[in-house]
Structure 1
Amino acid sequence: MTGSNKIYPSAEAALDGVLQDGMLIAAGGFGLCGIPELLIEAILRAGTKELTIASNNCGVDGFGLGKLLDSRQICKMISSYVGENAEFMRQYLSGELELEFNPQGTLAERMRAGGAGIPGFYTKTGVGTVIAEGKEHHDFDGETYILERGIVADLSIVKGWKADESGNVIFRKTARNFNVPAAKCGRICVCEVEEIVPTGSLDPDAIHLPGIYVHRLVQGQHEKRIEQCTTRSRVSDTTGKKETV
């Protein structure tokens, strides 16, 4: 990288000098939708270990963040959903992996709060459940709330659809998911995208993540694996035979 240019030639180059053992990483994505798969692969190859990952879930077996579970590079997950990853469940139940469960909205708000410089907030979500254990309680207008801390990550890794050279990013449809709050809560944000265009060519009203939050950009090809592919049989109008769709 030269001067103020944010564009790097590869995911490995974009993470050079950033990764360190024991760091907290906020990762965008929801299931396998909008996950930073190139950056995850680069972390896998770098061998960075003892990682704490804040992410809605942990990919699936053998793909996405699931690769870092397989390689034992993750020691703790801060997540809201673990149902699609058998290795996640196995490591947690065997005591190999620490897990901090968060309700989905609470996790998103913790990231948003961290990015906005808000150290904590009160919420009713989780009151009276194991989520509330060990947390500060406070009454407001006769209702009990628990204190949740904002998340400030050492590194954010996110995946966008299109960015300009200044780092302004557009996410495509549901791939927006956790990517915006995850990007904002990192001290350093690295974003991978499908296309980089000249600065000024994006409609300002269409930008989801301003470039001020993005420190490094990388463009690449993505697998975009389908998490669950469901098919059914139907009768063809022309042949009368069943076809899979």
Structure 2
Amino acid sequence: MTRSQLILVLGAAALVVVLFQLPRSVVENEQLQEVGGPESHSMEIPQEVETQINELRRLIEEEENIDKKANFAHSLARRYLDYGIVDSAARYAEAIQRWKETPSELAADIYFTAYERSPGPEQAKEYAVKARGILQSLLDKDPTNLVLKNRLAMTLVVSENPMAGVAMLREILAQDETNRQAILNLGLLAIQSGQFERAKERFENLISLNPADNEAKLYLAVSMIEINQQSQARLLLEEILASQDSIPAIKMMASDYLEGL
């Protein structure tokens, strides 16, 4: 993995860590730039997870209540997404939409995550379009939902008008200047476009809001490495490795970058 190919990390409750791509054509300063494609990551499903998958399949088949059926399908799709089986997960998003007959936040979550973790740009764009349609419908009903708005913005950055996504992230910050996800997204997009000084500012902002934000520390360290501030980056990476709160994925990446210094 090159340093310009950045990861995002799943929540601490995830069974495993999946390294996945960011959108490939966005910047924060309104100059578009293409960056390299992602690496592909595949994982073997442990037997205990295979057992969970089979049980969820059984529950989906037997359940008649639509809401419960959709929840089981969402859980199953998340298992697949944890292990990079994107196509199978997306089929359950389609099923949820069919069962519910109205825009479903569960389906949007699956499509959005499939977009993030797709192994190639064409597949990523396909799922981004599907997620975008549902997210827009949900936002039309609840325009104050900044979680949905953040996600919609990130699907727009792979549209024909990527700066609309960046503008939407800025709108979120205009509403809530401490919105972590919007700040994080803008920082990650800055890294992807090689704007490491801008990225550094974003992640320093996050750390000022929460000094224990080890994910922000990791990305700040990456930004510093790219602008030849290796000594400061080393201190951050060592902090992450010494922290009791760092999830394994963050520590793994911190160790990897530290070894490269």
Q: Is TM > 0.5 for Structure 1 vs Structure 2? A: no
Which one has more relative contact order, counting CA pairs under 8 Å at least 6 apart? Answer: 1
TM superposition score normalised by structure 2:
0.28
- Structure in which a larger fraction of residues adopt strand: 1
